[in-house]
Amino acid sequence: MSKKMFVDRLIEQIKAKNTPFIVGLDPSLSKMPPWFLTQQQIDRYSTAAQCAEAIYQYNLMVLEAVADLVPAVKPQCAYYELFGAEGFRALEKTIVAARERGLLIILDAKRGDIASTAEAYAKSYLPSQPSPPLEADALTIVPYLGTDCLEPFISEANNWGKGIFVCVKTSNPGGAVVQDCTIGDRYLYEIVGDLVRDEAEKSLGSNGYSSIGAVVGATHPDAACRLRSQLPNSFFLVPGIGAQGGSKAGIQACFNSDGLGAVINSSRAIMYPHLYGERESNLASIRDAAQRAIAQIRDSL
């Protein structure tokens, strides 16, 4: 079992890097610059193995650009699953490469199922002994199958000093159809927040925060404000800046008065700066994009 809780390790890294900004690793061949695809000999006839190796190589460039700037990275599983077993191998290698560079791994898998299936998912990503191939420091969870969905993930996280981020109020516009439904005088996302709060209060680290956190989008500042008051001890994983257009108010709402309580993620705007006004995407421009995002967050806070 890890001697230190995930949230305490995360806070250490945030303070060491002087930023709560993290980079999502969403490697999409359709967004990569032509020079890179040519270099990797990727075309419409490329095999799954060739494509998977190319996304790994692109990740290496991103990691080289940002590793000394950020506390963690967030690989999104879907981009790797696209290439089957070869894609999962690329994800494994990406996790190893990120860890070798001193980065924490927040795996964005959004798993969530009942009882024994949830337990199998939890054991696929969270234990440290024996270490599974896709071992992460924290994992995203979809909670809408209820408490027997959450419990196995919480149990494994607490047992191994790992973290989970429960999807409470997500950044996508369509999420409101479900998450903003009202039950009595409360939003559904607030009721889900109660589940997070109850578990978070049971396991506080040395900094007063819990490793049981929540996904809260920067695109919904009013909801973020409500949830920040409701979940004072939980860290928020905050998507929605960069390509999704999250606001300064949305960023501010996710933090506590101590300047902690959230990590802000951006993926596409960092990985593919040529799609967002830059002339090219390469190591230098990716690093510049990350530094601009860090400066934006510092200005917001």
Catalytic site positions: 110
Listing DSSP states for 205-241 in one string gives: -TTS-EEEEEEE-TT-HHHHHHHHHH-TTEEEEE--S
Joined together, the tokens standing for residue 65 give 């650009």
Cα–Cα dist 1/131, whole Å: 11
Is 271 exposed, middle or buried, given 0-12, 13-18 or 19+ CB atoms closer than 10 A? buried
Please answer whether residues 119 and 152 qualify as being in contact, where contact means their C-beta atoms are separated by less than 8 angstroms.
yes
Q: For residue 149, how far is the Cα from the chain centroid?
A: 20
Q: Which residue has the tokens 């690989």?
A: 75
Joined together, the tokens standing for residue 285 give 């421009």
Count other C-beta atoms under 10 Å from residue 194's C-beta: 12
Output the CA torsion sign for 157, 163, 168, 173.
Answer: negative
Joined together, the tokens standing for residue 171 give 């950044």
The DSSP secondary-structure symbol of 240 reads -
Q: For residue 267, how far is the Cα from the chain centroid?
A: 9
Please answer whether residues 22 and 175 qualify as being in contact, where contact means their C-beta atoms are separated by less than 8 angstroms.
no
- Exposure string over 28-63, b if 16+ CB within 10 A, otherwise e: bbeebbeebbeebebeeebeeeebbbbbbbbbbbbb
Cα–Cα dist 32/189, whole Å: 35
